[in-house]
């Protein structure tokens, strides 16, 4: 239920046992291996294995890339139906070596797939080119002379091309004084006019000038024989044959895609091999031995010892506690209820290895707040049911599973708050406690009250940390005074509930506690500041001491300024009300809209509106509740005591992309 201690592990073994040890550790999956290739100082005589890398690792990575590209490409042509929510297929660890004996075959298969991809790409760009050429030919189809004779003769200039329609009128004007000009308009479209023009060479200059002025573009033809329409037809034939080739390739890709499951198996097997090679490079070595350094959770020390001893008896395993200069990884373990909430904390920061695990304290607050922000019993049931269904169907890996479980637990909380507040699918029924819409001020007080509880919990945690790190007096002045202040404030405000003599007494006790706490805070902070500043003074003259004294009083009073921070934090909890309100009112809107459709044919739409509207409301508000509940934990709770800065415990374990490994 906490951040658990880890021990440093050192293994000395013979090199011939290296592969078996690696395989055993990978299967066990509970030991973190340190990368000695980047370690600052290795013990005498030990060299990093990374020096011996024979490019095997990069070979594995290149092969993995090829396999992955093949899988991706073939996946687009694979039309076998896959269940959207189906779990990952299983693969046995012992099959891995068998699969890898066929590695060359799979690499050839993936090369074939990659070639297919390449050919398809070439074909489609060829097709595109032909289609573009066909488009360019379209204006010339009525010109029924072979294109190879459209060129200058001995004494005439002959050319074809296009003129933008905007220039046409001025072009015609320019031609009015040319006597040997033959101008034919072949066709026109919205942008250009396509012409055939010829003139005597003596008038060439004038023609060229006016053509240039009119932005004339000479026509080019993709082939040099035949008339434009003949060229067009032959291009069409080319296109048809390319299309046939294209379809053939697609057919073979689709057939070939039946190999995908096997290629995926090979991928995962190779991935395991690659990981083993990668970790082997992290070890150190002498001529005959191998030196492994890592971290093991203290609870697993015996297991690991017997595991390694079962592989080989010629081995020395040493466990030591981490010394002050080393930061061990942070290893967190919690029970099944708290574990899903670890995902919330890990999104913010990893606690450092010497801190306490915040998850068990955070989990109940998150649970409560999520439910308050959705607070509809019907939605809660749907949310919990859907999330559990999703979890059972997809059987996800550890980390994605945590998110689904958080939502499922959130659904339970939503149901509870929905019952308390009387919200059922947007309908306001009799609440077990009270309806927030009818008594908003009470709801706000509840929200602020819960917020105050969380803030004070954060203060208590901070107190414990401060007692350990900075001594009891510091904690008493800085943290316990705030706790007393809030307690005093609450007692003081208790006479607003009612006016019985009990409340009067409580209220006056509260006043005294309040004054004492405020005084403690101000004077204590002043004292701390005074001592600190005195230490920093080099020359201790009476004047300087008095100045220091006055400035310390000032900083003592400023310590009270933190009340504004607390106030804004408490106000932040009003979002519990606001978001729950949003869900409730949208639900009401959906139901009102439904009510308006109940005359005549409208009945058909009623279930659509009900399901659609409430589903939309549920999704949007569940997302909002998830995010805002996270935010409350991060800013108003963790911000008070969590240091962070740790790195998570990452064991060397089996990692796969497509399969689930079983042993």
Partner 1 sequence: MFETSMAELMGEIPWGAVWTITGAAIATLMAGIGSAMGVSMVGQAGAGVIAEDPEKFSKVLIMEALPGTQGIYGLLIGFLIVLWSGLLGGDMTKFMDISTAEGLLVLLGSLPIALVGLYSAIYQGKAAVAGVALIARRPEQSGRAITMCVLVETYAVLALLVSFLIINSVLN
Phi then psi for 179, rounded to 5 degrees?
-95, -25
Other beta carbons within 10 angstroms of residue 184's beta carbon come to 11
Report, in Å, the least distance between residue 639 CB and partner 1. Answer: 12
Report, in Å, the least distance between residue 589 CB and partner 1. Answer: 5
- Chain-centroid distance, C-alpha 190: 50
**Which CB atom, from 371 or from 556, has the smaller least distance to partner 1?**
371
Report, in Å, the least distance between residue 574 CB and partner 1. Answer: 5
Q: For residues 462 and 474, give the distance between their C-alpha atoms in angstroms, rounded to a whole number.
A: 12
CA-to-CA separations, 346 to 370, 399, 633, 653, in angstroms, rounded: 18, 10, 12, 20
Tokens encoding 223: 């082939």
Q: For residues 293 and 237, give the distance between their C-alpha atoms in angstroms, rounded to a whole number.
A: 69
Output helix, strand, coil percentages for the chain, rounded to the nearest 5.
65, 10, 25
Q: Which of 269, 353, 195 is nearest to 659 (CA)?
A: 269
**Which CB atom, from 139 or from 584, has the smaller least distance to partner 1?**
584
Q: Which of 276, 267, 273, 272 is nearest to 107 (CA)?
A: 267
Report, in Å, the least distance between residue 191 CB and partner 1. Answer: 30
Report, in Å, the least distance between residue 330 CB and partner 1. Answer: 17
**Which CB atom, from 109 or from 590, has the smaller least distance to partner 1?**
590
Q: What is the dihedral of CA 546, 552, 553, 555, to 10 degrees?
A: 150
Contacts 24+ apart (CB under 8 A), 115-119: 116/73, 116/249, 116/252, 116/253, 116/256, 117/69, 117/73, 119/249
Contacts of 659 (CB under 8 A, 6+ apart): 88, 89, 90, 91, 264, 265, 268
User: Are 236 and 134 contacting, i.e. CB atoms less than 8 angstroms apart?
Assistant: yes
**Which CB atom, from 318 or from 347, has the smaller least distance to partner 1?**
347
Report, in Å, the least distance between residue 438 CB and partner 1. Answer: 9
For 588-611, letters b (16+ CB in 10 Å) and e give: bebbeebeebeeeeeeeeeeebbe
**Which CB atom, from 299 or from 581, has the smaller least distance to partner 1?**
581
Give the residue ranges of DSSP H helices in 537-604.
542-558, 562-572, 575-596
Report, in Å, the least distance between residue 577 CB and partner 1. Answer: 7
Given the rule CB under 8 A, which residues bind partner 1? 347-348, 440, 571-572, 574-575, 577-579, 581-582, 585-586, 588-589, 592, 620, 623-624, 627-628, 630-631, 634-635
Contacts of 187 (CB under 8 A, 6+ apart): 139, 140, 141, 142, 193, 194
CA-to-CA separations, 372 to 413, 419, 452, 507, in angstroms, rounded: 8, 11, 16, 30
**Which CB atom, from 589 or from 615, has the smaller least distance to partner 1?**
589
Report, in Å, the least distance between residue 585 CB and partner 1. Answer: 5
Report, in Å, the least distance between residue 126 CB and partner 1. Answer: 25
Other beta carbons within 10 angstroms of residue 74's beta carbon come to 23
Report, in Å, the least distance between residue 261 CB and partner 1. Answer: 21
Q: For residues 21 and 26, give the distance between their C-alpha atoms in angstroms, rounded to a whole number.
A: 9
User: Are 329 and 298 contacting, i.e. CB atoms less than 8 angstroms apart?
Assistant: no
Phi then psi for 196, rounded to 5 degrees?
-115, 125
Q: For residues 289 and 10, give the distance between their C-alpha atoms in angstroms, rounded to a whole number.
A: 13
Tokens encoding 420: 């308390």
**Which CB atom, from 310 or from 400, has the smaller least distance to partner 1?**
400
Report, in Å, the least distance between residue 648 CB and partner 1. Answer: 12
Q: What is the dihedral of CA 111, 117, 118, 124, to 10 degrees?
A: 170
**Which CB atom, from 197 or from 622, has the smaller least distance to partner 1?**
622
Report, in Å, the least distance between residue 161 CB and partner 1. Answer: 38
Report, in Å, the least distance between residue 147 CB and partner 1. Answer: 41
Report, in Å, the least distance between residue 91 CB and partner 1. Answer: 23
């Amino acid at each position: 239920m906490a951040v658990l201690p880890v021990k440093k592990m050192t293994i000395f073994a013979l090199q011939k046992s290296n592969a078996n040890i690696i395989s055993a550790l990978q299967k066990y999956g509970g030991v973190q291996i340190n990368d000695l290739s980047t370690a600052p100082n290795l013990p005498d005589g030990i060299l990093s294995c990374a020096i011996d890398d024979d490019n095997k690792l990069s070979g594995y990575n290149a092969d993995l890339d090829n396999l992955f590209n093949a899988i991706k490409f073939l996946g687009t042509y694979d039309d076998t139906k896959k269940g959207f929510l189906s779990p990952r297929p299983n693969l046995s660890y012992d099959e891995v070596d068998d699969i890898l004996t066929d590695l060359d075959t799979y690499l050839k298969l993936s090369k074939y797939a990659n070639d297919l991809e390449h050919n398809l790409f070439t074909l489609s760009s060829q097709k595109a080119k032909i289609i573009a050429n066909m488009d360019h030919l379209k204006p010339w189809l009525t010109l029924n002379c072979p294109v190879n004779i459209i060129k200058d003769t001995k004494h005439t200039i002959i050319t074809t091309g296009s003129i933008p329609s905007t220039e046409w009128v001025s072009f015609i004007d320019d031609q009015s004084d040319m006597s040997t000009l033959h101008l034919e308009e072949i066709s026109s479209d919205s942008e250009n006019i396509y012409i055939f023009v010829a003139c005597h060479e003596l008038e060439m200059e004038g023609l060229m000038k006016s053509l240039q002025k009119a932005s004339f573009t000479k026509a080019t033809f993709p082939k040099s024989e035949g008339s434009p329409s003949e060229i067009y037809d032959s291009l069409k034939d080319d296109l048809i044959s390319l299309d046939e080739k294209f379809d053939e390739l697609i057919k073979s890709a689709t057939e070939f895609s039946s190999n995908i499951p096997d290629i995926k198996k090979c991928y995962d097997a190779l991935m395991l091999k690659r990981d083993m090679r990668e970790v082997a490079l992290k070890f150190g070595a002498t001529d005959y031995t191998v030196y492994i350094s890592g971290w093991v959770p203290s609870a697993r020390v015996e297991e690991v010892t017997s595991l390694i001893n079962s592989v080989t008896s010629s081995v020395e395993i040493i466990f030591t506690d981490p010394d002050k200069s080393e930061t061990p990884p942070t290893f967190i373990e919690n029970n099944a209820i708290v574990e899903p909430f670890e995902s919330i904390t890990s999104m913010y920061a990893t606690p450092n290895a010497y801190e306490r695990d915040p998850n068990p304290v955070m989990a109940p607050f998150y649970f409560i707040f999520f439910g308050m922000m959705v607070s509809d019993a019907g939605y809660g049931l749907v949310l919990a049911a859907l999330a559990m269904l999703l979890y059972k169907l997809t059987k996800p890996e550890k980390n994605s599973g945590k998110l689904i479980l958080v939502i499922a637990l959130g659904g339970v909380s939503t149901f509870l708050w929905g019952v308390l507040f009387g919200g059922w699918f947007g309908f306001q029924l009799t609440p077990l406690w009270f309806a927030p819409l009818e008594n908003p001020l009470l709801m706000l007080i509840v929200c602020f009250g819960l917020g105050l509880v969380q803030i004070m919990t954060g203060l208590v945690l901070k107190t414990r940390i401060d007692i350990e790190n900075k001594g009891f007096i510091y904690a008493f002045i800085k943290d316990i005074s705030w706790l007393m202040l809030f307690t005093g404030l609450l007692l003081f405000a208790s006479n607003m509930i009612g006016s019985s003599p009990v409340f009067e007494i409580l209220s006056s006790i509260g006043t005294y506690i309040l004054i004492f706490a405020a005084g403690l805070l101000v004077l204590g902070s002043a004292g701390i500041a005074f001592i600190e500043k005195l230490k920093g003074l080099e020359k201790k003259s009476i004047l300087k001491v008095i100045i220091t004294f006055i400035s310390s009083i000032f900083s003592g009073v400023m310590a009270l300024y933190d009340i504004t921070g607390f106030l804004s934090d408490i106000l932040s909890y009003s979002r519990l009300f606001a978001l729950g309100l949003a869900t409730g009112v949208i639900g009401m809107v959906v139901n009102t809209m439904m009510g308006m459709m109940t005359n005549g044919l409208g009945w058909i739409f009623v279930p659509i509106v009900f399901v659609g509207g409430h589903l939309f409301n549920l999704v949007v508000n569940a997302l909002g509740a998830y995010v805002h509940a996270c935010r409350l934990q991060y800013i108003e709770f963790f911000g008070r005591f969590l240091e962070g800065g740790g790195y998570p415990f990452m064991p060397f374990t089996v990692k796969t992309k497509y399969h689930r490994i079983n042993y």
